[in-house]
Amino acid sequence: MLKPLLLNSKKNKLKFAVTVTLKKDVLDPQGKVVQQTLRNMGMITLKNLRQGKYFEVDVNEDNEETAKNKVDEMCKKLLVNLIIEDFTISKL
């Protein structure tokens, strides 16, 4: 019999931020559109803008290194397209 998922687990809840950005050599057409729109709105000092993604991930885990490794695995398996994107993980 499977144990039910406990919402109030006794494990520590660790929170991580994952920032996903396009690799430098990858064109960013959506970022260019946003950049041009901001310039058209009068923000002439804007030099460059690139779009990305941001995730906040809560992990029920006692060990920070183990939790970070799990988040890294999530990124590599689903959250990030490793061919065109880079990512960073930081603890919140």
Longest dimension (CA), the chain: 63
Contact 22, 80 (CB under 8 A): no
Residue 11 has pLDDT above 80, yes or no: no
Contact 61, 11 (CB under 8 A): yes
More confident residue, 9 or 14: 14
What is the model's pLDDT at position 5? 52
Per-residue pLDDT tens for 39-81? Answer: 999 999 999 999 999 999 999 999 999 999 999 999 999 999 9
Fold of the 13-91 domain: Mth169; Chain: A , (3.30.1280)
Structure tokens at 10: 């006794």
Average pLDDT score over residue span 10-26: 90
Average pLDDT score over residue span 3-12: 54
- What residues does each domain of the chain span? 13-91
Structure tokens at 88: 């960073």
